[in-house]
Structures are given as structure tokens and as C-alpha cells.
Amino acid sequence: MSVRLAVFDCDGTLVDGQADICHTMVHAFEKAGLSPPDANAVRRIVGLSLPVAIRHLAPGLDDEQQRQVVEHYKAGYFARRQEGLLHEPLYDGIAELLHALRDAGWSLAVATGKSDRGLQSVLAAHDLTDLFISLQTADRHPSKPHPAMLEAALFEAGAMPSQAVMIGDTSFDMQMARAARVHALGVAWGYHPPEELTATGAHEVVDQVAQLGAALERAL
């Protein structure tokens, strides 16, 4: 059987972590003595690597200010995890979908702006780690929409671009998929609106988790 690879974004696609991301970002800016961005702006940058996200939120920061915000964010998020305050629930139906895809012969991967530690933590919390053959994070790659994460996932899965689908909720995911010549499948329950996903390259956008299985079959 030929390889079929489904690569998932994490925040906004598998889990809803926006509350913790927004809280920690505001805290990081305040710790650095800076005016914090509003929550809508923070949701817009979910999926980007942290330094790139902060440049989008506050393009006028100098290098030292940006470094401080990055470090405060990392420290704040780690502290929330250690204190048991993080709330990163799976979207309804995601666990069942992932198991069904694996049982149907799909290879599964993740490409995310999270760190290695952050991704491993959330997958372990939901007992999903063993489902994935490739985990690509911002720790080892340029930020989305650069195709490096997808290219690494393809290599590890032994798949060609024509044998893979990128599933994500942001324009960054759709642009990354297009750059890697992979089918781009958008989901409407995340952080960018469906019309933006379509405008940035989505071949299809689904409204519900229950529609993902059929959309993946149509993709390949």
C-alpha cells in the first residue's frame, strides 16, 4: 500500500490553547515593561514561531526588547505547565479521528509552532504520542510558512508531496502546504476565518471534525 500522510497543526487544529497563549503573551509583554497586545492580535499569530510572532505583534521592538519578551513568554508558559494551570483541550472528536486514521493505514505527523517540550507535553496529556511517526516543531525549523517542517515530515514518513495532506487552521499552514506542494486542508474551528484559508491556498475548508475523514479521502 502506498504511503498516505496526514500532517496536523496543533494549536487551533488539534487542541484549543488560545486562552493560555493569550494570557502568557500579555504577561510576557508586561514583564518586559511593554504595553501588551490585545487578544485578537495574539490569536492572529498562533502557529508562528515565537520570535516571529512577537515581531508581528510589535514590529517596533529592538532586539533586546524582543529577546526579553521571548524569554518571559517561555518562562511564563513553563510556569503555568508546572503549576497545572494549562488548559489545552482537544477539540471534540479529534482523538477518535486520529485513531481511526491510524487504523485505516494513514501515517500521522504534526507540524507546529510549539516547542518540542510544549508539543510533547500536550500529546502526552491526551495519550496521543504513539500515534505520530513525525513531530516537527519550531525548535528545529524556520517559522511557518517556510516549508521545512513539512519537508522533514515527508522525509521521515517516506512520502512524496503528492501523498500528503497538511491540515491546519491558519493561513500560515495553507501557505506552508502550498510551498511544499502538499494538499492544503483548512479547518474552520481555529484562529483564522475560512475565507482567509481559501484565499491563502486551501483546497478545501471543513467546518466540523466529523468532516475531516471524508475530506482526507477526497484529497488523496
**pLDDT digits over 5-28, tens only?**
999 999 999 999 889 999 999 999
Q: Show which of 82, 100, 122 is a domain's final residue.
A: 82
Per the structure, how many domains does the chain have?
2
In whole angstroms, how large is the CA radius of gyration of the chain? 17
Q: What is the pLDDT of residue 85?
A: 87
Same domain, 32 and 114: no
Q: What is the pLDDT of residue 84?
A: 87
What does pLDDT average to over the chain? 96
Q: What's the CATH number where 66 sits?
A: 1.10.150.240
| Res 138 pLDDT > 90 | yes
Cell of 184: 492544503
Is residue 159 a contact partner of residue 169, using CB atoms and an 8 Å limit? Answer: no
47 secondary structure, DSSP code: T
Residue 17, judged by CB atoms within 10 A of its CB (0-12, 13-18, 19+), counts as buried
Is residue 21 a contact partner of residue 182, using CB atoms and an 8 Å limit? Answer: no
Same domain, 117 and 209: yes
Q: What is the pLDDT of residue 86?
A: 87
Same domain, 102 and 178: yes
Same domain, 96 and 77: no
Same domain, 108 and 177: yes
Q: Show which of 59, 82, 105 is a domain's final residue.
A: 82
Distance (Å, rounded) from C-alpha 153 to C-alpha 150?
5
Same domain, 101 and 164: yes
Q: Which domain holds residue 23?
A: 18-82
Cell of 214: 471524508
The stretch 68-93 carries a mean pLDDT of 94
Same domain, 11 and 118: yes
Active site residues: 9, 11
Instruction: For residue 1, name the pLDDT band (cuts at 50, 70, 90).
Output: low
Same domain, 136 and 175: yes
Same domain, 98 and 162: yes
Instruction: For residue 186, name the pLDDT band (cuts at 50, 70, 90).
Output: very high
Q: Show which of 82, 109, 135 is a domain's final residue.
A: 82
Q: Which helix (H) or strand (E) holds 205?
A: strand 204-206
| Res 88 pLDDT > 90 | yes
130 secondary structure, DSSP code: G
Q: What is the pLDDT of residue 165?
A: 98
